[in-house]
Structure 1
């Protein structure tokens, strides 16, 4: 477990940076723009963010799988993903533009729509190519791709929102800098620029798309479950309620950085694992540890949420406290999915997640339509908690069935579960 723990610590450091600058960015937009304008930003960014799951076509995951299993060479994969990216960028921008103009209440402002779309090509390129580093278990480089954009976005907010007072436009401009910088870095430093070619290897492209589309559909359903409340709030409620919800939900989702730390490593290791059953036993151990940690932090967050929300965002966001508190039980239960899904995805079985997420999504939509008109942001948070809980329990059942590990064994704590942590503490003492 030593190399596993080292990778976890690397990702933990990276995610810590992301949380720090993410919270900093959230505080700036809250303090300088207020609930209504934060709601406008959330409504504008939800479609490009959601479409990333479709436009990415699961290429990062299929890249990790094929490279990790040594099915195709790195150069062949680089060329293929560069060619796929050129096509999907055009299609993604067109479809997303239409969706934003037609369905978003903020889509009437053409400048805002274009600014919200601008990071999409670069984010797609970065997502495609990050699979190269996961496939090679190069966690260090993968981390940089993740945390550098959050730093640059934070700096951009200082420049465009605080210094230049560009308001909503400034916040949207700030979101462009990070993805653009990483794309340029990948093109030249990692020699992706040499991979562009008009000579197509249709065998590799077809293989990557065949597996990748399954990942993409699964990721789309998952992302839609996280995003549908914002979409429905945008249509049935006000920008103020949307702003209140986005801040409360944003804080609750920082708890998922703990399973996110584990899931990145799990996916990369699962893709190259020689013994699937034993690896799944390790993943179950990681679930038990992360579940304790997430639950403890959620309880603390429940009690300090009034001081935290008002302290960071101001009195205008007082109603976000209830949103955060209502979401916490669902966030805890969905930790089951967050940790264990990457094991099956790394084994090339992403469709298993849809068995849990599709019923949860349907319930989420129904509850949102029932509760948002009367309860606004609080109604959306209730719908999400119910949906997350159902998704977590259903996925536990399907994971147990797929890996042939009984649910009782997955959930039962053992004294040896804590050995990696104790060993790590002893190393630090030495």
Structure 2
């Protein structure tokens, strides 16, 4: 047995892909522990209504942030995989600066749209007189939120993978955690959303300083074929639509639960979704590790390596996901009660989400493959269809079944886009991204 274990460890050490994925996963696990430690603090010290408001704003920022980013956070990885010459670092810097300009312009436009939206219409829709003000504050901080996300992906594009993971999953929570603790001790819990939003200003400044420090190593100042704003937008906006669609799939349920239930229900269901992210964390971790390699191998038509890397990624995703699926499923009630007895109400929703995500993990790197091989438009169409299904099912099921209806809807729409994407990839390229 010891010999088998030793041989297995040697195989891991000799395979850079598996080793990097596992190291990245360790950092993500650290982030998850911090997230759930903070969630435990929130649910036991803040009212479900305040926690629900925080989760609502977080979901809103995911959607509006994906619009503001216009897909730049993912296309920067695409451009990095395409750049091969000696001045690639300087070229990437020029692309990044142009992307920041795009982000700033989009954030101004979106803020003005929210500002001009009828206040009473929004408040009446959600049956909450404070919603419009919350949305206005969120859109006002949008540029800093989007810039933090872009900078995190730039770290990845610059092969600073571990720095990216630390900011994505650990450091980004620090301003919020410190602020929430301070609010708790001064008895001002009502300002949790404001502290959450202000944290993005701090994160944007820190990550920007680091990005320009890394780019300072770029020596050359000439580019043979500079990437234009038009090319950035053309390559990015299909990814943006896909990204926005994915966030809508994760946000429609929150929006409808707030409308047809209350902030407390949003808090209960959001905890179940966070627990599900333990599984999605594995999928995302492996996918971001292979994304640039998929783009590189596809561009040079190295089909052997392309097939090898997607095969390894699908197997690794499933192997790492299965234990978490079983454990969370068995101990679901105990885990939820740990965050407060009221949160056990989300048990059925959690079981549905966990089983569904476990099934979807068998589809491997389908989404990343389409985005990194120039099939952004194809993925866009698939996700738009999934969003329509998600919207209709949420509208039909949530008023009647609440959190359970939301969970069923999420699983159904997730399975739909994963399955269709896998079929399309095999039909076009004869590549098996699913578990095989």
TM range (shorter): 0.7 to 0.9
* Contact 1:43-1:106 at 8 Å conserved across structures: no
Deviation at residue 187 of structure 1 after TM alignment: 3.1
CA distance in 2, matches of 1:337, 1:350: 18
Q: Among 300, 312, 315, which residue is 2:341 paired with?
A: 315
Question: CA distance change for structure 1 residues 234 and 109 in 2, over 3 Å: closer, same or farther?
Answer: closer
2:72 counterpart of 1:59: yes
Deviation at residue 228 of structure 1 after TM alignment: 1.1
Q: Among 40, 62, 68, which residue is 1:49 paired with?
A: 62
CA deviation digits over 1:55-91, x for unaligned, max 9? 1011122222223211761232133123223212212
Deviation at residue 154 of structure 1 after TM alignment: 2.2
The residue number in structure 1 matching 2:5 is none
Question: CA distance change for structure 1 residues 226 and 45 in 2, over 3 Å: closer, same or farther?
Answer: same
CA deviation digits over 1:204-226, x for unaligned, max 9? 11111111111101111111112
The residue number in structure 2 matching 1:368 is 394
RMSD of aligned alpha carbons: 2.8
The residue number in structure 1 matching 2:47 is 34
CA distance in 2, matches of 1:354, 1:322: 31
* Contact 2:239-2:380 at 8 Å conserved across structures: no
Query: 3-state DSSP class of the match of 2:251?
Result: helix
Deviates more, 1:53-62 or 1:359-368: 359-368
Question: CA distance change for structure 1 residues 227 and 338 in 2, over 3 Å: closer, same or farther?
Answer: farther
1:152-163 equivalence runs, <5 A: 152-160=175-183, 162-163=184-185
Deviates more, 1:70-79 or 1:103-112: 103-112
* Contact 2:57-2:193 at 8 Å conserved across structures: no
The residue number in structure 1 matching 2:8 is none
CA deviation digits over 1:183-235, x for unaligned, max 9? 2223334327999xxxxx99611111111111101111111112111112222
Question: CA distance change for structure 1 residues 128 and 249 in 2, over 3 Å: closer, same or farther?
Answer: closer
Q: Among 196, 201, 215, which residue is 1:180 paired with?
A: 201
* Contact 1:309-1:321 at 8 Å conserved across structures: yes
Q: Among 327, 350, 366, which residue is 1:300 paired with?
A: 327
2:391 counterpart of 1:326: no
2:253 counterpart of 1:219: no
Deviation at residue 152 of structure 1 after TM alignment: 3.1
2:96 counterpart of 1:82: no
2:365 counterpart of 1:339: yes
Question: CA distance change for structure 1 residues 290 and 29 in 2, over 3 Å: closer, same or farther?
Answer: same
CA distance in 2, matches of 1:114, 1:170: 16
In structure 2, the gaps of 5 or more residues are 1-13, 217-224
The residue number in structure 1 matching 2:154 is 132
In structure 1, the gaps of 5 or more residues are 196-200, 413-430
Query: 3-state DSSP class of the match of 1:411?
Result: coil
Deviation at residue 114 of structure 1 after TM alignment: 4.8
Question: Which ranges of 4 or more aligned residues in structure 1 deviate by more than 6 Å?
Answer: 192-195
The residue number in structure 2 matching 1:426 is none
The residue number in structure 2 matching 1:150 is 173
CA distance in 2, matches of 1:5, 1:107: 51
The residue number in structure 1 matching 2:112 is 94
Deviation at residue 325 of structure 1 after TM alignment: 0.8
Query: 3-state DSSP class of the match of 1:158?
Result: helix
The residue number in structure 2 matching 1:428 is none
* Contact 2:53-2:263 at 8 Å conserved across structures: yes
Q: State how many pairs are aligned.
A: 402
* Contact 1:74-1:132 at 8 Å conserved across structures: no
CA distance in 1, matches of 2:50, 2:318: 35
Question: CA distance change for structure 1 residues 187 and 328 in 2, over 3 Å: closer, same or farther?
Answer: closer
* Contact 1:85-1:124 at 8 Å conserved across structures: yes
2:294 counterpart of 1:270: yes
The residue number in structure 2 matching 1:290 is 317
Deviates more, 1:41-50 or 1:259-268: 41-50
CA distance in 1, matches of 2:41, 2:193: 9
CA distance in 1, matches of 2:363, 2:382: 9
The residue number in structure 2 matching 1:231 is 255
TM-score (norm 2): 0.83
TM-score (norm 1): 0.84
* Contact 2:95-2:227 at 8 Å conserved across structures: no
CA distance in 2, matches of 1:158, 1:116: 21
Deviates more, 1:259-268 or 1:118-127: 118-127
Deviation at residue 306 of structure 1 after TM alignment: 0.8
Q: Among 255, 260, 278, which residue is 1:254 paired with?
A: 278
CA deviation digits over 1:384-423, x for unaligned, max 9? 222222222222212222331258xx433xxxxxxxxxxx
2:82 counterpart of 1:69: yes
